[in-house]
Amino acid sequence: MTTINVPVIQGNVILTSPFMATNRVNPHHGADLAPFPRGTMPPILAWDDGEVFFIQHNNRSAGNWIEILHSDNVVTTYMHLDSFAPGLTLGSRVSRGQQIGIMGNTGDSTGVHLHIEFRNVRDRASGRNAVDPMPILLAAANRSNNAANLASAAQAANAASQTNATPTQTNQNQGGSAMSINRRITISSGHGLHARGAKDIIDEVTEARRVVDRVAEILQAAGVHVSVFHDNTTRPPTGTLVAINAHHNRQQRDLDVSVHFNSVDGGTRDAGIGVETLYRKGNAAMREMASRISRAISAASGLILRRGDGTWEQPSKGFLNQTNINRAVLIEVCFVNSRTDVRLYQTHFEAICHAIAEAVHGQSIAATDIQAPAIDTDIDAPLEPENPAPTRPTVTLDVMGDVREVGGFIQDGAAYVRLTDFCDTLGQRASWDENRLLPVITKADNVAGPILDSVNAARLLTCQEEIRLLKEIVHWEARGEDEKGQVIVANVIFNRMRSPHHRNQNTVREVIFHPGAFTPTTRPTFGTVVPSERTINAVHRAISGEDLSQGATFFHQLSSITPEVWHERAVRDGRLVRLFDHGNHRFYKEA
């Protein structure tokens, strides 16, 4: 038996499963290395300086799984770790040879070993074009020149990626010098549900949300950490900017993006007006970013560049001046009262979203498996949104004998009422307790009538997309469970939304797309399922306030639980409390 020494493991190892081994059910895109002698669990070391690009505890297949992005666009992947080095989180910087974890036996593993992969970052989302890590590791072990080691890895990964890459228009669209890569992006739609923007042939708020959601999907499929925000609660005259900027400023991010559509005086017109991207006055880096975004959109759609180069310096634009990282752009995709603009936007919707995603990310993104929605290109009359908002009937409520009518909407046979509308009607105030992450209802001054105590339930969902996402994640995580088990899984989502341990997870979208939290969201099939009647009923029960979870914020499949899974180790360490088992799931909460 030949033992070897490689730079990513401290001590001797043996190769137990080579790259693309043929005796496996699934393609083997890396190499498996086990410790020698057996019975040890050596430290795992970073291949080179870089940034933690992905980190996940207890993945069903990969166990404790971490990926590091290096400056040469190589991503190294390490799977089945027993544990991570203390303090490692998404975005952490690591140095060459720094310990990042301990070799382990987590996930779908039959013994202590490390599974390691090398690939170009552009192929990280698709999982394609990995290269055999062994020639790189063995050559590095026999070379003292580390620069040569790194160059060999970059050359192999880049060659594999370029050989099989999907052609894109990135270089053509963006032009100029290379842009820094943004790996954490916060993107929001302009204005809000109750503070509408421009409206003519199309509606600004409706279309901005469509663009934001699609761009976020493309970025997430490419491995970018994205936080999405739509203002569904603020009402005039408070203004939406406070809510939008507050969300952006709570995130850890490299770039802030706000998506708008514009309008000019004079009513509907035939002539094209074009695309423009705004940036803060005096910020040369963001001027270059703005130019790249507008040029990318123009090349993808045929929209003309407004003001010559598609940029507009803004000395006092609220969004641009109120974000706290000085890296912000505001995109005016097109003009809602130009028939030419709207036709080009609708015809090239997918290409525009892809162009925006590439421009803000800073590098090319291969075409994803997520299918874009069909778009109606008839613009002779004002268009209805492709997914129109649910009808909003008047709902009559009887609260302690006080009969009132409030606005609501019907979804799948159930009525939903916005919490703020309900309180306004009863002369009460709704506020958000930042410490307990709960909505609190208090009686307004000098108003008689019933008063509600703190609402001990998740924030009421009034957004059709939030409800759809909740049904989808419950389907994927609990489709084999009875209806009670599915209610509990939905409860876990709500519990995370109000847990102090899960900051910046205030919506279903933010919870389920949080990096490493819910594996199904990373699959191409996510977003395509039609939930069963049982799942729909379970979600409605959870939304209505039924909580069977005992405060659970984590769960794991019983069929794959061992004493070494992260949850059980966290129980032993005092970080989690084991609550109960239901069906094929075990539920936990923070200690």
Give backbone dihedrals phi and psi of 352, rounded to 5 degrees, phi first: -65, -45
Residues 340 and 411 in one domain: no
What integer pLDDT is reported at residue 447 of this predicted model? 44
- 88: containing domain: 4-164
Give backbone dihedrals phi and psi of 216, rounded to 5 degrees, phi first: -60, -40
Which amino acid type is present at position 211? V
Based on the number of CB atoms within 10 Å of its own CB, is 591 exposed (0-12), middle (13-18) or buried (19 or more)?
exposed
Contacts of 544 (CB under 8 A, 6+ apart): 414
The CA-based angle 202-263-337, given to 5 degrees, is 45
Based on the number of CB atoms within 10 Å of its own CB, is 447 exposed (0-12), middle (13-18) or buried (19 or more)?
exposed
Residues 125 and 34 in one domain: yes
Residue 122 lies in a domain: yes
The span from the CA of 200 to the CA of 340, in Å, is 13
Angle between helices 339-347 and 284-301 (to 10 degrees): 80
The span from the CA of 129 to the CA of 135, in Å, is 16
CATH number where 52 lies: 2.70.70.10
- Extended beta strands in 386-499, E state: 394-399, 402-411, 414-417, 428-433, 438-443
Residues 438 and 477 in one domain: no
Q: Residue length, the chain?
A: 591
HSE at residue 74, side-chain half, CA atoms within 13 A, is 25
* CB 137 within 8 Å of CB 6: yes
Residues 439 and 354 in one domain: no
Beta bridge partners of 416: 409
Residues 426 and 476 in one domain: no
* CB 340 within 8 Å of CB 270: yes
Residue 91 lies in a domain: yes
Residue 399 lies in a domain: yes
Based on the number of CB atoms within 10 Å of its own CB, is 542 exposed (0-12), middle (13-18) or buried (19 or more)?
buried
DSSP H or E stretch at residue 313: strand 311-314
Residues 340 and 429 in one domain: no
Structure tokens at 149: 């080691």
What integer pLDDT is reported at residue 297 of this predicted model? 93
Q: How many other C-beta atoms lie within 10 A of the C-beta of residue 434?
A: 9
Residues 313 and 421 in one domain: no
Structure tokens at 559: 């069929």
What integer pLDDT is reported at residue 537 of this predicted model? 87
What integer pLDDT is reported at residue 258 of this predicted model? 95
Residues 61 and 100 in one domain: yes
- Extended beta strands in 382-437, E state: 394-399, 402-411, 414-417, 428-433
Residue 449 lies in a domain: no
Residue 304 lies in a domain: yes
Alpha-helical segments (H) within 328-463: 339-347, 349-361, 419-425
Residue 373 lies in a domain: no
The residue among 147, 164, 181 that closes a domain is: 164
* CB 232 within 8 Å of CB 462: yes
- Of 538, 546, 578, the C-alpha closest to 561 is 578
Residues 503 and 523 in one domain: yes
The span from the CA of 300 to the CA of 89, in Å, is 36
What integer pLDDT is reported at residue 389 of this predicted model? 36
Structure tokens at 130: 């990995």
Residues 155 and 36 in one domain: yes
Residue 367 lies in a domain: no
* CB 569 within 8 Å of CB 518: no
CATH number where 248 lies: 3.40.630.40
Collapsed DSSP state (helix, strand, coil) of residue 343: helix
- CA 586 to chain centroid: 26
Residue 209 lies in a domain: yes
CATH number where 491 lies: 1.10.10.2520
What integer pLDDT is reported at residue 112 of this predicted model? 92
- Of 201, 336, 198, 341, the C-alpha closest to 272 is 341
Collapsed DSSP state (helix, strand, coil) of residue 539: helix
Domain count, the chain: 4
Residue with tokens 């400023």: 249
Residues 127 and 77 in one domain: yes
The span from the CA of 256 to the CA of 39, in Å, is 48
Q: Is the pTM of this model over 0.75?
A: no
The span from the CA of 352 to the CA of 298, in Å, is 8
Could you list the pLDDT tens digit for every one of the 591 residues in the chain?
A: 578 889 999 999 999 888 876 544 456 788 999 998 888 899 999 998 888 877 877 777 788 889 888 877 788 999 999 999 988 877 788 999 999 999 999 888 888 999 999 988 766 655 667 888 888 888 876 654 455 555 556 566 666 555 444 333 333 223 233 346 888 899 999 988 888 889 999 999 989 999 998 898 888 878 888 888 888 878 765 568 888 888 888 888 899 999 999 998 878 998 899 999 999 888 888 988 998 899 989 888 889 999 888 999 887 667 888 888 889 999 999 999 999 999 999 988 988 999 999 899 988 776 543 443 333 222 322 323 333 333 334 556 555 455 556 555 544 445 556 566 566 655 666 665 545 445 565 655 544 444 333 333 333 333 556 788 898 899 989 888 889 999 999 999 988 887 878 767 777 888 888 877 888 887 767 777 778 888 888 888 887 778 899 999 999 887 666 666 778 888 888 888 999 988 888 999 988
- CA 230 to chain centroid: 14
HSE at residue 114, side-chain half, CA atoms within 13 A, is 34
The span from the CA of 163 to the CA of 566, in Å, is 38
Structure tokens at 491: 């409860």
Residues 158 and 181 in one domain: no
The span from the CA of 450 to the CA of 439, in Å, is 17
The residue among 131, 164, 197 that closes a domain is: 164
The span from the CA of 515 to the CA of 38, in Å, is 33
